[in-house]
Amino acid sequence: MTTPEIPQKAPYVLDMEPGSYFWCACGKSQNQPYCDGSHAGSGLRPVRAEITESKKVAWCGCKQSENKPFCDGNHRKLP
């Protein structure tokens, strides 16, 4: 698998605290938008994001962003 699944056609907008996070790139995680290891064998790997301050983050939910792991609005182009 090299094409990710699309868990939702909108971002996951969450209040985040500083820390390291691993964004699910395959779309299979049951813990969206975070990786739970479901990518094993898919050829896709999670993307590490470092959040340095408390803030609201729009994580990509469609897995089509050009700015992974963050939403860039590409979900609006999906059918």
Task: Using pLDDT thresholds of 50, 70 and 90, give the confidence band for residue 11.
Answer: very high
The per-residue pLDDT for 1 is 54
> Which burial class, exposed, middle or buried, applies to 78 when counting CB atoms under 10 A from its CB (0-12, 13-18, 19+)?
exposed
Q: Could you list the residue range(s) of the whole structural domain that residue 32 is in?
A: 27-59
Query: Looking at residue 2, what is its pLDDT?
Result: 80
Residue reference for tokens 């990509």: 60
Once rounded to an integer, what is the mean pLDDT over residues 27-54? 97
In a domain, 47, yes or no: yes
What's the rounded mean pLDDT across residues 46-72? Answer: 98
Q: Is residue 48 situated within a structural domain?
A: yes
At residue 22, does pLDDT exceed 60?
A: yes
Q: pTM for this structure? A: 0.94
Name the token pair of 4.
């990710």
Cα distance between residue 67 and residue 42, in whole Å: 21
Overall average pLDDT of the 65-73 stretch: 98
Question: 19, 51 in Cβ contact below 8 A?
Answer: yes
Does any domain span residue 37?
Answer: yes
Instruction: Extract the tokens encoding 23.
Output: 């964004």
